[in-house]
Amino acid sequence: MIRKTKDAINSLSRSYLDKASNFVSEQTEQMSTTLERLNDRRICLGITGLSQSGKSTFVTSLIDQLINYKTSSLSGFSPVLEKRLMGVKLLPLSNKRIANFPYQASIAGLKKPQPNWPSSTTDISGCVLELKLQKTATPLNPFSKENFSLFIEIRDYPGEWLLDLPLRNMDYARWCGQCSAQFNREPRKQILGDLLLDLQNIDPMDPVNFEVLAELQKRFVSFLEQCKAGEHPLSLIQPGRFLMPGQIEDKTLLYFVPLLKVGSFTDGQLEAAPENSYFKVCEKRYKDYIKQLAEPFYKDFFSGIDRQVVLVDVITALNSGPLYLDDMRQALSNISDSFSYGPQNRIMQLFTPKIDKVVFAATKADQVVSADHSSLVKLLESLVDHAYKTAQYEGVPPTTEAVAGVRSSIEVEHEGDAALSGFDTTGAAIGYVHPPIPAFIAKNTTDQGFKDWNIPKFNPPILPDENQAVPHIRLDSVLNSLVGDKCS
């Protein structure tokens, strides 16, 4: 009996000691991180992108370019051009509650004899890149050899969650009104089918039938999945966690639907609705969803960003048609209101962080010939017009680029026209000539000129050496725009 008591006490003591040790370790790392930020030697890079924008591939390639900087093509990144980059290390985040970004698995897939694309992100992950740099020589010390470290913190997340950010400033009734307007227009109206009528027939004041609500939610999730995975995917898909829940203990947070009759009632009538009504039950779950999922995601992930790159799959939206371009434009406009732009000094950045540099990047530029990249950038600028002007107004002049995290095609000539050549997912050689990319498409146009453009799916290129960095398009320019000023 005494021995069992001693064992229990020892076990309890070890548990307390482990917790105390972890606490001290976390506090020490937090202090170190704070000092690095004060010394302007640590920045948090926000890789922002909607679902399927190529975020995971972009992050994987960015890490690969820096780790293999001696073999990569980074002539546009000043520390490499000036031969001041001495080495790069990949480190885990100090926040142990966030999983490590799966770089090793992702890059191994890209560099296999039969390569494959990185898997889509299903939860938050992150990493830190330590760049060992030589200081820029100055007139007073032209032979300076002093080295320093710059820590670049990168976090990845499911793009689906990004669309939850605008919901933080939208109550349930307003969201229902937004859904009603969207659902009565194409292409959502056709995708919804009978579900549209069923949602319209639910009286918000009726006592809730939880079996009916669960079935409606299941069908609503199926509708969202079709919006995302259809031949021509939509961008404005909410709530994001309905598609990519992540780690959620309380699944009831996901059990609500938009009630499309809400607009027929006054605010007073909705406020006085019975507690067991469809409206009150769905409203409570919506509020809990925002409080327990959307708000923590924003606070933990986005509120500390120093520099930002916004990835936009312009080509897929263009290929889908004007309705899908307008949908992407609206989605990007909505999420941009969640970001705080403006110049900031080191001390204030600790307390009221703002984004002081931003790059808008049209991804998958390897799907169009280089002569059309400038038009692709112009089209990008029209899609991010709201965010672009907001950043510019706040004193942060944005940069725009056409990029590819991995260049999967090469440019060739076919019957006098510039064309692209590569390998499909089976390894067979393919090539195509695409229509000229327009620099501008008017809002609400009915022009369907690109809808029949069949974009082949290229596989990643086969590399002769696994120590060779994967080929890319303009990642060096993006890097220089985001962190070049911190590397001197």
Q: pLDDT tens digit string along 312-323?
A: 999 999 888 888
CA dist., res. 347 & res. 344, Å (int): 8
Residues in the chain: 488
Residue 26: inside a domain: no
Residues 218 and 147 occupy one common structural domain: no
Residues 88 and 104 occupy one common structural domain: yes
Q: pLDDT tens digit string along 85-109?
A: 999 999 998 888 889 999 999 999 9
pLDDT score of 454:
79
In 3-state terms the chain splits into helix, strand, coil percentages (rounded to 5) of: 45, 15, 40
Residue 12: inside a domain: no
Whole-structure pTM value = 0.87
Domain that holds residue 248: 162-300
Pairing of strands 147-156, 125-134: antiparallel
Stretch 454-467: mean pLDDT: 88
Q: Which of 455, 466, 264 is nearest to 365 (CA)?
A: 455
Residue 169: inside a domain: yes
Domain total in the chain = 2
Residues 129 and 181 occupy one common structural domain: no
Residues 331 and 451 occupy one common structural domain: yes
Asked if the model's pLDDT at residue 37 lies above 80, the reply is: no
Residues 204 and 284 occupy one common structural domain: yes
Residue 353: inside a domain: yes
**Cβ pair 442, 456 in contact under 8 A:** no
Residues 339 and 395 occupy one common structural domain: yes
CA dist., res. 86 & res. 148, Å (int): 10
Final residue of a structural domain among 239, 267, 300: 300
Q: pLDDT confidence of 14, banded at 50, 70, 90?
A: low
pLDDT score of 29:
47
CA dist., res. 1 & res. 236, Å (int): 64
Residue 18: inside a domain: no
Q: Where does residue 356 rank: exposed (0-12), middle (13-18), buried (19+ CB within 10 A)? A: buried
Residues 350 and 470 occupy one common structural domain: yes
Residues 376 and 253 occupy one common structural domain: no
pLDDT score of 155:
86
Q: Where does residue 232 rank: exposed (0-12), middle (13-18), buried (19+ CB within 10 A)? A: middle
Residues 153 and 168 occupy one common structural domain: no
Residues 331 and 400 occupy one common structural domain: yes
pLDDT score of 40:
59
Torsion angles phi and psi, residue 148, rounded to 5:
-150, 165
Residue 289: inside a domain: yes
Residue 32: inside a domain: no
Q: pLDDT confidence of 52, banded at 50, 70, 90?
A: confident
